[in-house]
Amino acid sequence: MNTPNDLRYTASHEWVRVEADGTLTIGITDHAQEALGDVVFLELPEAGRSVAKEEAIAVIESVKAASDIYAPVAGEILEANQAAIDAPESVNTDAYAAWLFKIKPANPADVEGLLDAAGYEATIG
Amino acid sequence: MTQQTPLHATHVAAGARMVDFAGWDMPVNYGSQIEEHHAVRRDAGMFDVSHMLALDLEGADAKAFLRGLIANDVAKLVEPGKALYACMLNEQGGVIDDLIVYFLSDTAYRLVVNAGTADKDVAWMQQRLAATGAAATLGVRRDLAMIAVQGPNARAKTWAAIPGAEAASTALKVFQAATLGDIFIARTGYTGEDGFELTLPADKAAGTWAALTAAGVKPCGLGARDTLRLEAGMALYGNDMDETVSPLDAGLAWTVDFKDENRDFVGKAALVANGARQQALGLILEDKGILRSHQKVFTAQGEGETSSGSFSPTLEKSIALARLPLGVAAGDAVEVDIRGKRLKARVVKAPFVRNGKALV
């Protein structure tokens, strides 16, 4: 299983990278893309939208099924990844390169509540 | 506790992603589902369909019994090995299951039914046998495995893999079967491509699967099987029809045979009384998104509903089968409710794809 140590995670299979400026870059984990299978459509949030922690804010559709993606923390959407929207299969190719959106957290300390790599791997057994 | 087919260990060893399908632990994909789909459209792929159930109906009244049991008429089967697709209806005209029946002789037929409905199908047939007093017995063949080999090169690769298969099956027309020792070879399928469905003893399944793999047939999961049948416009039991849906409303009127006025079959009176109340048509989504089952469709003639939907790897667009009001026609612009948004779709006549070619 590919679970980089330098990222944080949620039990709902998002990965979170804390950037130098305190903003967060978010995608779905390698385990999640493997479970979903071929990704064919992404519906991502608009920049400027305020989101609550664990709010369903995006949809990822594989050939098999549609799944929600949740905000790991409260904050404001800064940007959605147009390149991923244009090439949804990039999520399968490299789930950690194909980020989905960036969030400015309302409270930077909220990141401390997220899982680390070992904690995430424990949730998926 | 989920059931396992004779090929279960083979799938697990190949790294397949296994899921519960109608109580069976089945491979949904081995790697990319889209690549598996393309392998069947362009070359050859195979599916373990051993979860489906073969039934052997034998006896002096087998033919008469089947003529009353299913909505298609087995009387038109006269050549040994000839197959017929049919719906088995309840008294209300709803579909208990869809099945394939093979004519072996006037006193022997083989039926293949869906996995999820197998138990209720057997119970219903036993009940009908008792009620009619027909001189026929139903043999449940859980001792058999089934492998569907599909694609433009499926027949040639099957012949390369199984000694004697070419001589036994080269003359088969579509929807016809032959026997090679203890292997039943049918030129049938559920993908819209040419190919065979092989029924064979369980202990031969793994060896045959390995020989087919060595001949260049790609193992494919049930995920690809679903997108292939959807592109081919083929109905899936439980999605596109069930016990509450008449075959006349599900695009299956062609499987209901009213020609012989003297033939009665279960559900006939209800079909005659109700006629067609809806029609099954295809949809192609013009906006971005993915159609799924049970989405509301808004047409100029009223509302309908999608019964199956997914992404079409061949068309690279989302497609669906839908039950729509009478009067809607191919070419009509409609809207589909996807998560509260109304997206534009175009009505087409299914199939979307057959024999590797887009038809819409």
pLDDT tens, B144-181? 999 999 999 999 999 999 999 999 999 999 999 999 99
Contacts with B289 from chain A: Cβ below 8 Å: 41, 43, 61
Give the count of Cβ contacts less than 8 A between chain A and B: 37
Helix (H) or strand (E) holding A30: helix A30-36
The beta-carbon neighbor of B33 closest among A35, A37, A59 is: A37
Whether A65 is in a domain gets the answer yes
The beta-carbon neighbor of B311 closest among A35, A59, A63 is: A63
pLDDT tens, B177-194? 999 999 999 999 999 999
Q: Where are the alpha helices (DSSP H) in chain B?
A: 8-13, 33-42, 62-69, 118-132, 154-161, 165-169, 202-214, 222-231, 268-274
Which pLDDT belongs to residue B287? 97
Average pLDDT over residues B233-245: 98
The beta-carbon neighbor of B311 closest among A35, A40, A59 is: A40
CATH number, position A20: 2.40.50.100
Whether A124 is in a domain gets the answer no
B7 pLDDT exceeds 80?
A: yes
Q: Which of B92, B108, B97, B52 is CA-nearest to residue B70?
A: B97
pLDDT tens, A51-86? 999 999 999 999 999 999 999 999 999 999 999 999
User: What are the tokens at B203?
Assistant: 């202990």
Inter-chain residue contact A59 with B227, CB threshold 8 Å: no
Terminal alpha carbon distance of chain A = 11
Inter-chain residue contact B33 with A92, CB threshold 8 Å: no
Minimal-distance CA residue of chain B relative to A44? B289
Contacts with B33 from chain A: Cβ below 8 Å: 37-38, 63-64
Average pLDDT over residues B17-35: 97
Domain range holding A61? 9-107
Contacts of B25 (CB under 8 A, 6+ apart): B2, B3, B4, B8, B18, B19
Whether A3 is in a domain gets the answer no
Strand locations in B10-155 (E): 17-21, 24-29, 45-48, 53-58, 83-89, 95-105, 108-113, 137-140, 144-150
CA B166/CA B157 separation, integer angstroms: 10
User: Mean pLDDT of all residues in chain B?
Assistant: 98
Q: How many CB atoms lie within 10 A of CB B346?
A: 16
CA B332/CA A33 separation, integer angstroms: 36
Please, what is the Cα angle at B352 between B346 and B353, to 5 degrees?
A: 155
The beta-carbon neighbor of A37 closest among B29, B290, B318 is: B29
B89 pLDDT exceeds 90?
A: yes
pLDDT tens, B48-64? 999 999 999 999 999 99
Contacts with B313 from chain A: Cβ below 8 Å: 63
Q: Which domains does chain B have, with CATH numbers?
A: 1-272 (3.30.1360.120), 278-358 (2.40.30.110)
User: Mean pLDDT of all residues in chain A?
Assistant: 97
Contacts of B64 (CB under 8 A, 6+ apart): B134
In the numeric block, the tokens 């071929």 are attached to A38
Which pLDDT belongs to residue B93? 98
pLDDT tens, A29-59? 999 999 999 999 999 999 999 999 999 999 9
What's the pTM? 0.96
Average pLDDT over residues B330-357: 97
- The whole-angstrom distance between B20's CA and the closest CA on chain A is 14
A125 pLDDT exceeds 80?
A: no
Beta strands at B218-219 and B45-48: parallel, antiparallel or unpaired? parallel
Which pLDDT belongs to residue B50? 98
Which pLDDT belongs to residue B295? 98
A96 pLDDT exceeds 80?
A: yes
Whether A33 is in a domain gets the answer yes
pLDDT tens, B28-46? 999 999 999 999 999 999 9
Name beta bridge partners: B82: B176
User: What are the tokens at B26?
Assistant: 């089945």
Inter-chain residue contact A64 with B290, CB threshold 8 Å: no
Domain count, chain A: 1
The answer to whether residue B222 neighbours chain A at the CB level (below 8 Å) is no
Inter-chain residue contact A66 with B28, CB threshold 8 Å: no
pLDDT tens, B277-309? 999 999 999 999 999 999 999 999 999 999 999
How distant, in Å, are the alpha carbons of A47, A84, B41, B125, B357 from that of B308?
33, 27, 20, 28, 21
Which pLDDT belongs to residue B1? 75
- A1 band by pLDDT with thresholds 50, 70 and 90: confident
3 state SS of B168: helix
3 state SS of B63: helix
